[in-house]
A and B are shown apart, each in its own frame.
Chain A
Amino acid sequence: MNPLDRYETLVDDVDAFRAACDRPLPSVVRTNRIKASPVRVRDAFDEAGVAYDPVDWHDGLFRLPDGNPGGNWPHLHGWTHGQEEVSVLPALALDPQPGERVWDACAAPGSKTTQIADAMDDTGTVVANDNNLGRLSALRHNAERLGVTNAIVTNQDARNFSTKPLAFDEFDRALVDAPCSCEGTCRKNPDVLDEWTLDHVHGVAGIQKGILTRAIQATRAGGTVVYSTCTFAPEENEAVLDHALANEACEVVPFDLPLETAPGVTEWEGEEYDESVTRARRVYPHHNDTGGFFCAKLRVGGPDDHAGETEVAR
């Protein structure tokens, strides 16, 4: 069975959805502002004759119609990083600020960690964790290539993450870009559809709930947690949020993304979810000609607890 069949009841235009999922994705690079401005990257592409198209919703992104994102001077200098367009969204939602303490719970291979470091002007501390040591070496390579100096890399199970190696015991913000069934990446890697099983969806949903729970617990009251996946499966998206809402002091908050999205769903295969999950954003491939994605922003602490929102000067 093609798992995309399951989601036809969720999308507005089934034919456009299926057609978009069948098209390959262009190569995209993100400007690393730690080392260069988008203008300088563009100038370097111009003088080398590298074809590129701007992305209208983000001035640091360039589509490379001829592919080969690593075969040019800006890449060698660490001015650019190959990163799918939708993969830029969770760090935009997280909106980390210079000087903060940020946790990237499932960080490898580091696209989002390095984007977070960039947004923090390479100041403060971003803790990049992953349970897979092999993938951490890719993260370290990327962080060094991009010149990130504010990252600490840890190798823990995020569900039981210990802050003991750190100089602090809670974060201002946390990103849970969770391991998932990855159907949203089918335009890049069609094999994910062949390898998909419902058992895996249910299994990974348990892991996702554990990681999101730990992220909420490790973030200060008033802080922000972003939960994202590259799957359309409500079991891995809204159901995970619903579980967190029922068990932890947090709320799903509205936020803006700079492209077309659909709201989270409140019903799926006989299950009902908290109404506030509609504040989560679903990104379907046919809406913006991207991969598929899911992103939610949570505020930690109960509805009456706004005490922690005052910025602490460090």
Chain B
Amino acid sequence: MSDPDHDLEPDADHEPANDGQRFDRLPATPADREVAGRASREEVLDWWEERFGIGRDFLDGYSFWEKGAGKVWVFNGEADDPSRVEAIGMTFLRTRQEHWKPTTRAVQRFGGHATRNVVELDPERASRFAAGEDQDLPDWDGDWGYLIVAHRIAGGTAPIGVGLYLYDELRSVVPKGSRADLPVVDR
């Protein structure tokens, strides 16, 4: 997977640390990084492009923020120092782990622009995926790891959520609160 290299910066007494209770804007590039382990804006944009083919055309207008350990938020409004607000935009991406993981809602919001690592399920499989079921998927010959899972609906394709593909199996990582038992709709 295309996980950026997180350089560990040398420890120093005054080294800024990640405060999990506040929103901080991502640094523009790895060279601008002051807080160890924090993803940069460039790395985030590169990741969506490399992993899913979602280019800067779609994401360049947004700002990106970290709150919590590696949780990156995407925001389209004006913000200066929103460090103590409850939320800014929506959750977008989980970083500070070997394989970055997009959120279900980010994939639903932006995944329609993806050109790769999208698996399109038939109606029966789509319903099982939305219900949170893991399923065998031996025919997939793309990348392993986190995929965008989509289906056909109302004349187009729409992303449902995030799947984790490992060893011929597609795991549903749709969060419990967002799962649903939906009818199989033959189209």
Q: How many A-B residue pairs have CB under 8 A?
A: 111
Give the docked Cα–Cα distance between A1 and B27 (Å): 62
Q: Which candidate, B9-17, B43-51, B135-143, B177-185, is the interface stretch facing chain A? A: B177-185
Residues of B within 8 A of A (CB): 62, 74-91, 103, 105, 108-109, 130, 153-156, 158, 160, 177-178, 180, 182-183, 185, 187
Chain B residues near A140: list those with CB within 8 A: 86-87
B76 touches A165 (CB 8 A): no
Question: What is the interface residue range for chain A against chain B?
Answer: 35 or more
A40 and B78 in contact (CB under 8 A), knowing A48-B183, A48-B185, A151-B89? no
A101 touches B109 (CB 8 A): no
| Contact residue among A76, A143, A167 (Cβ-Cβ distance under 8 Å from B180) | A76
A43 touches B77 (CB 8 A): no
Apart from A144-B90, A147-B105, what are 17 other A-B pairs with CB-CB below 8 Å?
Answer: A34-B109, A36-B154, A40-B156, A47-B185, A71-B182, A73-B153, A73-B182, A76-B178, A77-B160, A123-B76, A124-B78, A126-B77, A136-B86, A150-B76, A152-B79, A152-B85, A152-B87
Residues of A within 8 A of B (CB): 34-36, 40-41, 43-44, 47-48, 70-73, 75-78, 101, 122-126, 133, 136, 140-141, 143-145, 147-155, 165-168
Min CB distance B151 to A, Å, is: 8
Q: Which 6 A-B pairs have the closest CB atoms?
A: A125-B77, A147-B109, A153-B87, A167-B80, A43-B154, A44-B154
A76 touches B82 (CB 8 A): no
Can you name 25 A-B residue pairings with CB atoms under 8 Å? A35-B108, A36-B154, A47-B187, A73-B185, A75-B180, A76-B160, A77-B108, A78-B105, A78-B109, A125-B77, A125-B79, A133-B86, A140-B87, A143-B90, A147-B108, A147-B109, A149-B74, A150-B76, A152-B77, A152-B79, A152-B82, A152-B89, A154-B86, A155-B86, A167-B82
